[in-house]
Chains A and B, each alone.
Chain A
Amino acid sequence: MTNPAPILELRGVNKSFGAVHVLRGVDFNAYPGQVSALVGDNGAGKSTLIKGVAGIHSFDSGEYLFEGTPANVHAPRQANALGIEVVYQDLALCDNLDVVHNMFLGREEKAGLILDEITMERRAKETLAGLSVRTLKSVRQQVSSLSGGQRQTVAIARAVLWNSKLVILDEPTAALGVAQTEQVLKLVRRLADNGLAVILISHNMNDVFQVADNIACLYLGMMAAQVHTKDVTHGQVVELITSGRSGDLGVQPEILSNGAVA
C-alpha cells in the first residue's frame, strides 16, 4: 500500500520545557483519507506533539509542512486557518448551550448584527447528516442533556464543520462505554472515508487496530516508528510503546541509550 502525499509533515521537530527535552527530532506524517494513530506511554510526548501542530505552543526547531509547503503555526487561529481542528479530551462544550450553538461557538453565522440561527441550524444538520449521525434527538437540545458519546459526536461534528482538512482527536473514547466507543470509532472512520486526515491519540490497542491506517509510536519523546497497521501485530506495537523497539523496528539501541541518559 502506497501512501498519498501527506497533508501534514513534521520533520525532526524538537520541543523543550526548560531543561526537559520533551520531543527529540520527531518525524510524523498525516495523510488525507487515513486515520493516523498516535500511541505512546504516559509522558511520551503525544500531547506536546499535538499542541505544537495545533499552534498552542510552537516547536523549538524542525520543519512543519502543511500540504507540502512550510507553514507558520504559532497560534491556534493559524492552525484553524490551515484547516486543522482539535477535539480535546475534555471536549470543551458549553453545557448550557444547545448543539447548534456549541458547534458554531466563537464563529457564529450572522446576518448583519443578528445571529443567523436558521443558517446555523441548517449547516449543523447537514454536517451531522454527512457524518450519518442518527443518535441526536434534536439539534436544539442542550448539551447537558446528551450522553458521553453524543457529546463526543457534537465535538467532532464541530471540528469538521469548518471545511477542515485535518482533525486531531485526543483520546475520544477514554471515557465511553462499549456501545458508545463503537459509535465514535465508526464516526472517526467515516471522517477519514470522507477524505479528511485524522490523527487519533489513543491508549486502547483495540481501538487503534480497528480504525487506524497507520500507527505512530512515541517513546520518550522519540518517534520509534510510524508503520502501516496491517504490517504490525498488537504485540509489536505494545513492544514499541514500552521499550521503543521491536525487532528491526524502532529506535536504534545506541540512540536509545544516549537519549535516555541525556
Chain B
Amino acid sequence: MSATQVTDVDIPEAGDTGGIGQALRDYFVRVKGGEVGSLPAVAGLIVLIALFSVLQGTTFFTALNFANLINQGTAVIVLAMGLVFVLLLGEIDLSAGFAAGTAAAVLAVGLTKYGLPWPVALIACLLTGTVIGLLLGLLVAKLGIPSFVVTLAAFLGLQGVMLLIIGEGGTIGIQSDFLLAIMNRNMPVWAGWLLWALVILGYAGVTFRAIRARKAAGLSGSSASVWAAKVVSLAILLGIAVYLLNGQRQIVRAGKQACVVMGPPNEPVGCIPTLQGVPWAVLVVLLLLVGLTFVLSRTSFGRHVYAVGGNTEAARRAGIKVSSIKITCFMICSTMAAVAGVLLASRDNSVSPTTGGAQTLLFAVGAAVIGGTSLFGGRGRVIDAIIGGLVVAVIANGLPLITSQSGIQYVVTGGVLLVAASVDALSRRRSSASGR
C-alpha cells in the first residue's frame, strides 16, 4: 500500500475550521443524528433549578441548600459513576446499593468491633466491593447468567449479609474523624478557590495540548475560539458553584455574629461557628471523575468496554477478551459502590441495615440514564453520572420545599427516569435510522 496518494485524496473533517458557529452546527447535526448525550439532562437541570427558584426562591437558591444538595447527591453520584461501566456493557447491577451497604458494614465493624485503624478498615471496605464485583462478573461472564438475575439475587443476598455483619436491628456509629470529615467538613475558602483554579487550568491545559498535538500532526481539531469558549464557560459555571459554597451557610440571627472556632470549648459568647466552603466530598467526586474518565476514554481497556457494549461479537472477533472486560467492569462498579458506602456512612455518622437501601440504587441508575448513559450499552460517560445525579438531587431536594407529600416526589422522580429512558430509546432508534 503506498501512502503517496494521500495528498490527492480529500477527506474533509467535521468541525475543523469555522470556529464556534461551525462547532454548534456540527453539534446540532450530531444531536439530530441521535447522539444527544447529556443535552436533555443539562437542559432539564436548568429548567428544574429555574422552576424551584421561582416557586421557592428564598429556600431553594441559597448557599445552605446548595450544600445540602451536594450532601444528598454525592453517594448517588459515586454509585452512578460505577454503574456507568456496567451500563456501558448493556448489563445492569441491581445489587450496587446493597454492595455499598455491605461494604459500609465491613467498614463500621472493622472500626468498632475489631478496632482497626481507619486506613485498614477503609481498604477492607473497598476490597469487599471488589470481591462482590468479581463474583457478580464471574457469574455473568463465565456462566452466562443474565446480569439482571445475578444482581437481583445479590440484591437480596447482600441485604442478608449486611444484616449478619451488623447484627439485627443494630446501628453502628463511625468513629473516625477522617472518615466523618469527608461528608461533614468543608475546605477553607481559599482552598475552594485554589481547587477551582487547578481544575480550570488543568482542563484548559490538557485540552489545549491535545488540540496543538493534532495541529502539529496535520490533523484538524477544534478551533481556538471553541476551546476558549469551553474553558470560559466552565470557569464561570464552576466559579458560581464555588462562590455559592464559599458563602456563609450558617444562619446568623440578630445580635450574633459568625466566627471561626475549632471546637466547642473555646466558643465565645454571641458567636456561632461559621459554616462555609466547598465540601471535601466534592474533591472525592472530582478525583473519581478524572480517574475514571481517563480510564474510559484514554486507555484501550476503556475502548474495549465501549466495543463490547456496542457489538459483543465484533469485539470478540477483534481479539478482545470479552469476559475479562465484563468481569473488570463489574469489579469497578462494586468497588465504586463501596466508595459510595463510605460516603453514606460518613454522611449519616453511622451504618445501619438501611444504608444503601431504599431508593439509593434506583436513584443511581436514574442518575446515569438521565445523564445520558444508554441502557442498551455502548453509550455513556462518567460525567453523565454527575449531571444526572444533580438532576435527581435537585428533584429530591426541591420538591419537599414546595409540597409535603412524599408521594409526589416518587411519582415525579419515576416520571423523569421514564422520560430519560424514552430519550435514550428514541435516540438509539434515530441513530440506527440515520445510518444506511
A-to-B contact residues, CB < 8 Å = 76-77, 80, 88, 90-97, 101, 105-108, 110, 113-115, 118, 121-122, 125-134, 136-148, 151, 160, 163, 194
Q: A93-B314, A96-B311, A194-B2 are in contact. List 15 more A-B contacts (CB 8 A).
A: A93-B311, A106-B315, A121-B219, A126-B1, A129-B5, A130-B1, A130-B3, A130-B5, A131-B1, A132-B9, A134-B10, A137-B14, A138-B12, A142-B431, A145-B435
User: Which listed residue (A105, A134, A145) contacts B315, Cβ 8 A?
Assistant: A105
Q: What sequence of 0s and 1s flags, for each residue 12-26 of chain B, a beta carbon within 8 Å of any chain A beta carbon? A: 111000000000000
Evaluate contact between A95 and B300: CB separation under 8 angstroms: no
> How many residues of B sit at the interface, in one of the four size bands?
35 or more
B319 within 8 A of partner (CB)? yes
Residues of chain B within 8 A of A107, CB atoms compared: 318-319
Shortest C-beta distance, A104 to chain B (Å), equals 9
Evaluate contact between B11 and A96: CB separation under 8 angstroms: no
Beta-carbon nearest neighbor of A135 in chain B: B11
Residues of chain A within 8 A of B10, CB atoms compared: 134
Shortest C-beta distance, B14 to chain A (Å), equals 5
Evaluate contact between A96 and B317: CB separation under 8 angstroms: no
User: Which listed residue (B1, B14, B298, B311) contacts A94, Cβ 8 A?
Assistant: B311
Q: What sequence of 0s and 1s flags, for each residue 212-241 of chain B, a beta carbon within 8 Å of any chain A beta carbon? A: 011001110000000000000000000000
**13 A-B residue pairings within 8 Å (CB atoms):** A80-B319, A91-B314, A92-B318, A97-B310, A105-B318, A106-B319, A110-B300, A115-B299, A127-B1, A137-B12, A143-B435, A144-B431, A194-B2
User: Which listed residue (A106, A129, A134, A160) contacts B318, Cβ 8 A?
Assistant: A106
B303 within 8 A of partner (CB)? yes
Residues of chain B within 8 A of A130, CB atoms compared: 1-3, 5-6
Interface of A (DSSP majority class)? loop
Interface of B (DSSP majority class)? loop
Beta-carbon nearest neighbor of A119 in chain B: B217
Evaluate contact between A113 and B299: CB separation under 8 angstroms: yes
B279 within 8 A of partner (CB)? no
Across the A-B interface, the 5 shortest Cβ-Cβ residue pairs: A106-B318, A94-B310, A96-B310, A96-B378, A92-B314
Evaluate contact between A125 and B11: CB separation under 8 angstroms: yes
Evaluate contact between A76 and B317: CB separation under 8 angstroms: yes
Residues of chain B within 8 A of A145, CB atoms compared: 33, 431, 434-435
Beta-carbon nearest neighbor of B5 in chain A: A129
Shortest C-beta distance, B318 to chain A (Å), equals 3
Bound together, the chains give a CA A107 to CA B318 distance in angstroms of 8
A128 in contact with B313 given A142-B35, A142-B431 (CB within 8 Å): no
Beta-carbon nearest neighbor of A121 in chain B: B219
Bound together, the chains give a CA A85 to CA B35 distance in angstroms of 32
A136 in contact with B306 given A129-B3, A129-B6, A130-B1 (CB within 8 Å): no
The residue among B6, B298, B300 with the most chain A CB atoms within 10 A of its own CB is: B300
Bound together, the chains give a CA A125 to CA B33 distance in angstroms of 24
